[in-house]
Amino acid sequence: MERPASPHMASSSPDSPCSCDCFVSVPPASAIPAVIFAKNSDRPRDEVQEVVFVPAGSHTPGSRLQCTYIEVEQVSKTHAVILSRPSWLWGAEMGANEHGVCIGNEAVWTKEPVGEGEALLGMDLLRLALERSSSAQEALHVITGLLERYGQGGSCLEDPAPFSYHNTFLLADRTEAWVLETAGRLWAAQRIQEGARNISNQLSIGTDISVQHPELRTHAQAKGWWDGQGAFDFAQVFSLTQQPVRMEAAKARFRAGQELLQQWQGGITAEVMMGILRDKESGICMDSGGFRTTASMVSVLPQDPTQPCVHFLTATPDPSRSVFKPFIFGVGVAQAPQVLSPTFGAQDPVRTLPRFQTRVDRRHTLYRGHQAALGLMESDQDRGQQLQQKQQDLEQEGLKATQGLLASEWAPSLQELGSLFQAFVKRESQAYA
């Protein structure tokens, strides 16, 4: 069903509401010998986020790949991925691949202007990196290579008025993490080999740059942003001089995230990360005007390569009233139909020009059930409490099962591992029926 596009006008201004928070814990900050990754995706309130499984693939040499707006050259082999993505686009807000690489992205504005043309979205870059890399460092090289070749740009909202931004990324694997921050085609990256780190819609890499674009400093000097003397502070040099209100709010969330990670230093688990993502007081669990946290993800990446990585995804908004459901790559992995949005082919408003002149109903089955459940939680206290208890019980069951798996107390078949997410999605859908 189509309806007229919203009259809400987006823009490329950082004053427009847009926020996300990414977190990572690398031992010894983690309570277990594992890297733990987490992200809240904060997007327009009514935007649907689906969870999509894409199997590994082999591709014809020289073939082309259609991303959200532009085509790129395809590679010969791509890895299996699990993606949490706004259902109208090709890329993803967050995801993981079969090799235990996880990536989350964030919107950022810098002194470098946001281009008006269509290029690769940050979300496209994220998916391309997951499909093409087997480590966080390799994913960084994939993103920066594609950035150099194709650039980043295009509207990031399903709206006729353009809304564009540059991107920062948090990349993690079983052994380490990287923060990658971009300004147009320029970038700086920081390697995280121990401790906890977070990013929140702002440049956060200062003088501790592990690797950078070869022209980063000469460009800053040519623009008059850096005098070429003394230490080069990337965030200080490239951040906007006049910070808008939304960027100030991001600073507050960034500091709150740092403090929460610090409080749990040495004791960070998947449950701790889920608690941080559910923190409403700090704004990390967002519910502000036209924006809210539309989906969340937590991943446990054991340092022992014989143990499976576990990825918990909600596929629904507001993590404080959602279920984190476990996904593990295995033999029986297939798409869970309840978290897949309907498709509209060539008639999709993102495909027809001019884009986004109409809106379509992208709600998937679990999203519809979850929205009804949220309504009950607000209108019928007793039934709402019962539903929330069902959510909590289901999540605890998933956490205990995967904890048992990582502690070698549960030895499921590869088929059972692969179908775990499907089973939990089905049970949550039934709870809302």
Q: Catalytic positions, please? A: 20
Residue 372 falls in which region: left (phi positive, over 0), alpha (psi -120 to 50) or beta: alpha
What is the helix (H) or strand (E) element at residue 418, kind and residue range? Answer: helix 414-418
In whole angstroms, what is the distance from residue 14 CA to residue 419 CA?
41
DSSP per-residue codes, 94-137: EEEETTS-EEEEEEE--SSPPPSS--B-HHHHHHHHHHH-SSHH
The label of the residue with tokens 């199997």 reads 55
Beta strands (DSSP E) in 247-355 are 287-288, 291-302, 310-313, 325-327
Instruction: Please tell me the distance from the alpha carbon of residue 394 to that of residue 396, in angstroms, as a whole number.
Output: 5
Q: Is 265 within 8 Å of 29 (Cβ atoms)?
A: yes
| Paired sense of beta strands 57-58 and 94-97, if any | unpaired
Residue type present at position 315: A
Q: How far apart are CA 172 and CA 411, in angstroms?
A: 26
Q: Cα separations (Å) of 9 from 12, 120, 181? A: 10, 22, 27
Phi, psi of 210 (to 5 degrees): -85, -35
Sign of CA dihedral 140, 153, 200, 38: negative
The residues pairing with 26 across neighbouring beta strands, listed in sequence order, are 195
DSSP 56: -
Alpha helices in 245-380 (DSSP H): 245-263, 270-277, 365-379
CA Rg value for the chain: 21
Structure tokens at 330: 């295995």
How far out from the chain centre does Cα 212 lie? 23
